[in-house]
Amino acid sequence: MTESDKIRVLVIGALGKMGRAVCDAVGAEPDMKLTAVVDAAAGDGVWTGPADGAARYVSLPECLQNEKLDVAVDFTAPDAVFGNVVACLRKEINCVVGTTGITEDQLKQIELECRLSGASCLIAPNFAIGAVLMMDIAQVVARYMPFCEITELHHDQKLDAPSGTALRTADMIAAARVDCPEPAGPEGSVARGLAHNGIPIHSVRLPGLVAHQEIIFGGQGQTLTIRHDSISRQSFMPGVVLAVRRVAGLDGLAVGLEKIM
């Protein structure tokens, strides 16, 4: 494969823990080229760690003006991701997004930007293959055991709670339940967690954790627990790499890694 045939990748948020891991993963793939990296935290112009050989920027607009890119990968923060994605789509750059906290209104705007530009965007609350399988299995279980609660556990630097994975899991379970039980409590914060679609979600934030989730289903005289653990951030890299390869084949916006599996 020649250099011109490789997928030209931009990583936004390259100095973060996930961003560094993505830089390493992309750089190791023979069909990809880590073309550019952006991180607003590098205001002094000093970069360390990943991204050797890639063009380095503090400003995303400057990067988009100077570089020719195929795919942008965003692992930044909830207050930055929407603007980043819109800017890339308007340059006809396909987007892979792992940042959570995007609102429903923002999703609608991203979908519109995809239609206007012809570019595609994949937003995934979790890039771990095992986590996607966990959610898929939970949909099957929910048809037979509709009563459940979710506990998600993450590192203490995670900004949002509940996690995007937990909210996505609750949505998928709610859609799969046939005889839907009465909600466990009002939507919002209640003593048994935050109820989303009638499913309580409990969030734990502690140092030493990476990303973990369990779903406990309860039935007459029995329980069934499905649990996934990300021991390190390397668990997300096969999913990110798969997304970078396949995002161009999507038609507009897709939410969930399962859409390309």
The residues assigned a catalytic role are 154, 158
- Note the Cα 8 to chain centre separation in Å: 20
Name the nearest CA neighbour of 150 among 108, 195, 106. 195
Close Cβ partners of 52 (under 8 Å, ≥ 6 residues apart): 27
Task: Let me know: does 214 contact 233? Beta carbons within 8 Å.
Answer: no
Phi, psi of 130 (to 5 degrees): -65, -35
Specify the DSSP element, H or E, that contains 175.
helix 164-176
CA-to-CA distance for 99 and 64, rounded, in angstroms? 20
In 208-231, which positions are buried (b, 16+ CB within 10 angstroms) versus exposed (e)? Answer: ebbbbbbbebeeeeeeeebebebe
